[in-house]
Amino acid sequence: MTDWRTRKGPIGVLTGAGISTDSGIPDFRGPRGVWTSDPIAELLSTYQNYVSDPELRVRSWVARRDNPAWRATPNSAHQALVRLASAGREVAIITQNIDRLHQRAGSESVVEIHGNMFEVVCIDCGYTASMADTLERVAAGDPDPACPDCDGILKAAVVMFGQHLDPVAIRSAVQIAETSELFLAVGTSLQVEPAASMCAVAVDSGAQLVIVNAEPTPYDVYAAEIVREPIGAALPRLVSELLGD
């Protein structure tokens, strides 16, 4: 099989929480992950729990206010993908992250398969607003702000467990996977579907798969190469190899 470093066609990248840990945002399932250290926190990500439990919603707004992503800046891994695209390579990113660090780093082709944390949406009427504005309502004394249009429940524009993914985002992700000659899976446990299955879609379409993750994943068997180094060092090195630096 041809060395993946010599492939000149489109590059698809699937990123998970691990790419943002160097920016001060903890992952979920790692040894120091949010859900590992606080199992109750996983309840905040479950749609039915959120809708049915007002006390859980109050805790969710506090968690949104305190999310480290507000203060985070892109790290060397995010910047490496920008450098790859700036060098003329066709790079499209599918991210499971909601922190928008890829966009803040300068990446232009990004599919947010799980939404983002910077907007809110009403589950009843579809009203949208900025998260910052809604958190101002929380700070002013409204611990569980309701929709100003219909009095419905507001939530972050994030896909929670138990919710359907945006079909437009899924179609875009599949198209990226199907048209990639090289597919990088970076900082993701590849345990959450259908995001993880993009690896299989890419391989079935002829791409070579490179996985950069600290722990084994269910898709390791399909990989042309597996990298266990810290992502902040590994991804810039891989990009340099792709560019022949």
Lowest mean pLDDT across 30-39, 86-95, 205-214: 30-39
pLDDT in tens, 45-72: 899 999 999 999 999 999 999 999 999 9
What does the pLDDT read at residue 198?
Answer: 97
> For the chain, what are the domain ranges?
1-25+73-114+164-245, 28-71+117-158
With respect to CATH, is domain 1-25+73-114+164-245 assigned 3.40.50.1220? Answer: yes
Q: Give yes or no: 102 in active site.
A: no
pLDDT in tens, 165-200: 999 999 999 999 999 999 999 999 999 889 999 999
Give the separation between CA 208 and CA 7, rounded to whole angstroms.
9
β-partners of residue 154 are 122
CATH number of this structure's domain 28-71+117-158 = 3.30.1600.10
Q: Is residue 23 within 8 Å of residue 74, measured between CB atoms?
A: yes
From the candidates 78, 102, 114, 164, give the one annotated as an active-site residue.
114
Q: What is the dihedral of CA 163, 166, 113, 49, to 10 degrees?
A: -10
Residue 35 pLDDT level (bands cut at 50, 70, 90):
very low
Query: What is the Cβ-side half-sphere exposure of residue 40, based on CA atoms within 13 angstroms?
Result: 6
Going 167 to 84 to 14 to 27, the CA torsion angle's sign is negative
Amino acid at 185: A
Going 182 to 188 to 192 to 195, the CA torsion angle's sign is negative
Helical pair 54-65 and 131-139, crossing angle rounded to 10 deg: 110
Q: What's the whole-number mean pLDDT along residues 220-233? A: 96
